[in-house]
Amino acid sequence: MYDSGMTTSTKAPDLTRQKLLEAAFGEIHRNGFQAASITQILCDTGLTKGALYHHFPDKKALGLAVVDEVIRPRLAALMFAPLADTRQPLAAMQALLAGKAAEDDPMVVTLGCPLNNLMQEMSPVDEGFRLQLNGVFEDWVGVVAAALERGKTAGEVRRDVEAEATAFFIVSALEGCVGMSKNTQSVTAYRSCLAQLGRFLDTLKR
């Protein structure tokens, strides 16, 4: 989930920073932020503490950078971009759900969504994290709401649909599908939940 590669044109210092971010992302996704090990991140990258602290003054700064520089852009590429300009948001979202249901990636169920994991872990204990994570969530809701409004104008979405509230529900439901499937460790439950969300989208059609 959220796979991406590094570009070869990136300058050496940026490559070091990206290497640290990628390793930190993996460590946090596996173990959560609070249990994430700086020692393991350095072991995974082969870098020194000096290299780490040159780019990030402390563990929290590294974690917040993971949210903004790894999770946000990957989510933008996977979930925001397909809805950015479409005038058929329901069809686009159905295609996204179908694609996710067809994924053969055990990490989705085993480890869950990186964004949702951090929201559940860190929002109650760290206001800085909560604000950063909520900013990503609000951006996601905003993308879906704008797409629904375009769909209303184009005639795909019912005119009585409240775009903002409906978008909040759609994003929350999708994150809930991933989160509960992580708890059940069931791909079947995950796919069933996505199917029900797809049926809800059908009710929004004009």
Q: pLDDT (tens digit, 9 = 90+) per residue, 89-112?
A: 999 999 999 999 998 788 889 999
What string of DSSP letters covers 136-165? HHHHHHHHHHHHHHHHHHHTSB-TT--HHH
The reported pTM is 0.91
Question: Which of the listed CATH numbers 3.40.50.2300, 1.10.540.10, 3.40.1410.10, 1.10.357.10 matches domain 12-202?
Answer: 1.10.357.10
pLDDT (tens digit, 0 to 9) for every residue of the chain, 206 residues total? 444 443 333 455 589 999 999 999 999 999 999 999 999 999 999 999 999 999 999 999 999 999 999 999 999 999 999 999 999 999 999 999 999 999 878 888 999 999 999 999 999 999 999 999 999 999 999 999 999 999 999 999 999 999 999 999 999 999 999 999 999 999 999 999 999 999 999 999 99
Q: 166: part of which helix (H) or strand (E)?
A: helix 163-184
User: In whole angstroms, what is the distance from residue 177 CA to residue 199 CA?
Assistant: 14
Provide the pLDDT for residue 13.
59
